[in-house]
Amino acid sequence: MSGGHRHQPDGFPGQVSFLAGIDPRVKLAAAAAFLVVNLTAPTALAPAATAALMALLMLGSRTPYRRRLLMIAFPSTFAIFVIASQTVFHGGDVFATLGPFDLHRDGLFHGLFMSLRIIAGGLVIVVLGVSTPLNRLCLALKWFRAPATFVEVVLLTYRYIFDTRAQLLRMRDAQRARLGWSSARRGLGSSRMLGGSLFLEVYERGLRSAEAMRCRGAGPVVAGSLPRLGRIDKLALLAAAALAAAPALLSLSGAGL
Amino acid sequence: MHIPEGLLPLDQAAAWYAPAMAFLAAGLAKLKRLFKEKPDARPLVGLMGAFVFVVSLMPVPVPGLGTVSHPCGTPLAAILLGPFAAVALGAVALLLQALFFAHGGISSWGANILSMAVGGSFVGFGVYRGARRLGAGLGLAAGLGGLAGDIITYAITSFQLAWALHGQESIGATWLAAFGSFMPTQIPLAIAELFFTSGVVVFIYRRRADLLAGPETQP
């Protein structure tokens, strides 16, 4: 799996800002709180504030630019779709007509609100994902009493994603070097053989490495545990709780977040 | 197509979560039993999870709808490991995609599990098993399972989107609009999934028939 580490989605948290050093349990709890606030906010202010905070944290995380764009591409695309569909379907005053579609003012505002929620929610997850290596996230899941089988399958799947990717690239390079494109029919026929070969190659390698790991005493359950929360972790937890509770407190006081 | 974080209102997200977690719990129980009886099954399980992850992360833009389509991979996982185990693998793949690519979400995880993992696995496996019982060959039955699992995934996702976004239109009309928009890209993808699932199952049967241990896999 040469070069595999270079491509790991969470290959950079070790070299990033203070967020990477915060305990994953704190980050998981904070992310859950922000997601609930984002989903329950009656107006756009809380999602906007959440999006701004998460964007700042992401900028501070020193994640490569292309990676940031890639990660936010899906929520952004969907946000545009939601604005368009709500403007057409949601109803309200008609402010324009586009071909067979009436465009509604209320729908446009509702779409903008929902798209802000999608962007904010997406950014919360992105920040969690780029700042937490998966093994630490799994330790946090274990601490939160997630089923051991689930945690084990997450780690197994994660390991095989890189095995599959490495084998796929090797086979693609070999195909490029040896073969040219002949026809769609042949392409479909060879995809069956390539897909099957990829499957069996990775499976055989997996069997060998599982055997090797067993010989070295590796057990099936995720090893290790997280230390007690440090001072920085407790401060981060308090800050996240205060920030997440702010919209609820302000709306109770009539500020209407 | 995975529903992103923040799209579903909290009540709808909770409504999709409840059945999804029941299916996930059943799938994990099945995998736990499998690991206990056959510790060597771990590489196959990890590999199938990775396959579902990779296959369902190949985006194809949907013209007009502004979103993306992709194959599912869960029908193949269901044929190899059974539908309950495939649900657990689909759920894990969806979680990893949400965390590392913001493709999907955490609050929408339940909805995405129900469409891609539960719908894709059970319908794909059901069609495969039914076709085998009706005398179809292994490759044809597996391919039909892949095709049906793919289409049903998008039918369920379209319903979830319609429920969340219908506004003053009826849910039925919105469902039809969403499903219809997916079809130009999804039908070719479903046909590709038919060939891929069929080809991989036949290939595995020829080389490692022991990995296809169910009674439906006899040629």
- pLDDT tens-digit readout, A101-122: 889 899 899 999 999 999 999 9
Question: From A147, which residue of chain B is nearest by alpha-carbon distance?
Answer: B28
Contact A126, A58 (CB under 8 A): yes
Chain pair A-B, CB pairs under 8 angstroms: 208
Chain A contacts in chain B segment 136-175 (CB below 8 A): 165-169, 174
Rounded to the nearest angstrom, the minimum Cα separation between B212 and chain A is: 13
Q: How confident is the model at residue A8 (pLDDT cuts 50, 70, 90)?
A: very low
What pLDDT is attached to residue A217? 76
Q: Which amino acid is at B94?
A: L
Contact A126, A69 (CB under 8 A): no
Contacts of A121 in chain B (CB under 8 A): 4-6, 105-107
DSSP B41: G
- Tell which of B42, B62, B69 to mutate to test the A interface (max A CBs under 10 Å): B42
B22 near A CB under 8 A:
no
Contacts of A40 in chain B (CB under 8 A): 10
CA distance B136 to B202: 13
- Tell which of B47, B56, B189 to mutate to test the A interface (max A CBs under 10 Å): B47
- pLDDT tens-digit readout, B32-76: 999 999 888 888 999 999 999 988 887 776 665 556 778 889 999
Orientation angle between helical segments B83-101 and B10-37, nearest 10 degrees: 120
Q: For residue B208, what are the CA distances in angstroms to A143, A200, B50, B83?
A: 39, 8, 19, 20
**Among A36, A91, A122, whose Cβ lies nearest the Cβ of B102?**
A122
Rounded to the nearest angstrom, the minimum Cα separation between B123 and chain A is: 22
DSSP string for residues in B167-193: TTS-HHHHHHHHHHHHHHHHHHHHHHH
Rounded to the nearest angstrom, the minimum Cα separation between A40 and chain B is: 7
**Among B51, B204, B208, whose Cβ lies nearest the Cβ of A164?**
B51
Cβ-defined contact of A192 to B165 (cutoff 8 Å): no
CA distance B130 to B216: 9
What pLDDT is attached to residue A9? 44
Question: From B191, which residue of chain A is nearest by alpha-carbon distance?
Answer: A188
B12 near A CB under 8 A:
no
Contact A75, B7 (CB under 8 A): no
**Among B6, B93, B166, whose Cβ lies nearest the Cβ of A118?**
B6
What pLDDT is attached to residue A251? 63
Tokens of A218: 């590796």
CATH of range B10-212; options 3.90.400.10, 3.40.190.10, 1.10.1760.20, 2.60.40.10: 1.10.1760.20
Q: Where are the beta strands (DSSP E) in chain B?
A: 60-62, 67-69
B10 near A CB under 8 A:
yes
What pLDDT is attached to residue B66? 56
What pLDDT is attached to residue A11? 47
Tokens of B51: 């396959």
Contacts of A192 in chain B (CB under 8 A): 195-196, 198-200, 202-203
Contact A50, A168 (CB under 8 A): no
Q: How confident is the model at residue A252 (pLDDT cuts 50, 70, 90)?
A: low
**Is 60 exceeded by the pLDDT of residue A2?**
no
Instruction: Give the burial class of B110: count Cβ atoms within 10 A of its Cβ; 0-12 exposed, 13-18 middle, 19 or more buried.
Output: buried
B69 near A CB under 8 A:
no
CA distance A55 to A49: 10
Instruction: Give the burial class of A219: count Cβ atoms within 10 A of its Cβ; 0-12 exposed, 13-18 middle, 19 or more buried.
Output: exposed
Question: From B205, which residue of chain A is nearest by alpha-carbon distance?
Answer: A196
Question: From A70, which residue of chain B is nearest by alpha-carbon distance?
Answer: B101
DSSP string for residues in A4-59: TGGG-TTSSGGGS-HHHHS-HHHHHHHHHHHHHHHHH-SSSHHHHHHHHHHHHHHH
DSSP string for residues in B46-81: HHHHHHHHHHTT--EEETTTTEEE----HHHHHHHH
Q: Which has the minimum average pLDDT: A78-87, A182-191, B53-62? A: A182-191
Contacts of A159 in chain B (CB under 8 A): 46
Nearest alpha-carbon partner for A86 in A122, A127, A114: A114
**Among A35, A154, A220, whose Cβ lies nearest the Cβ of B95?**
A154
DSSP B209: G
Contact B72, B116 (CB under 8 A): yes
Rounded to the nearest angstrom, the minimum Cα separation between B215 and chain A is: 21
Question: From A8, which residue of chain B is nearest by alpha-carbon distance?
Answer: B100
* Chain length of chain B: 219
**Is 90 exceeded by the pLDDT of residue A246?**
no
- pLDDT tens-digit readout, B157-190: 999 999 998 878 889 998 998 888 888 888 888 9
B31 near A CB under 8 A:
yes
Contact B181, B65 (CB under 8 A): yes
Mean per-residue pLDDT, A60-82: 82
Q: For residue A188, what are the CA distances in angstroms to A201, A231, B191?
A: 20, 58, 11
**Is 80 exceeded by the pLDDT of residue B119?**
yes
Please count the CA atoms within 13 angstroms of the CA of A54 that sit on its side-chain side: 31
Residue with tokens 């657990």: B88
Would you give the distance in Å from CA A43 to the centre of its chain?
Answer: 25
For A11, list phi and psi in degrees, rounded to 5. Answer: -75, -10
Tokens of A174: 């070999």
- pLDDT tens-digit readout, B85-113: 999 999 999 999 999 888 889 999 999 99
The residues that bridge with B68 in the sheet, in sequence order, are B61
Mean pLDDT value across chain B: 89
pLDDT > 90: percent of chain B: 60
CA distance B146 to B154: 13
Cβ-defined contact of B4 to A128 (cutoff 8 Å): no
Tokens of B156: 């369920």
Nearest alpha-carbon partner for B17 in B73, B72, B127, B94: B94
pTM of the prediction? 0.89
The bridge status of strand A101-104 relative to strand A94-98 is antiparallel
Chain A contacts in chain B segment 117-136 (CB below 8 A): none
B93 near A CB under 8 A:
yes
Taking the CB of residue A41, how many other CB atoms lie within 10 A of it?
Answer: 22
B191 near A CB under 8 A:
no
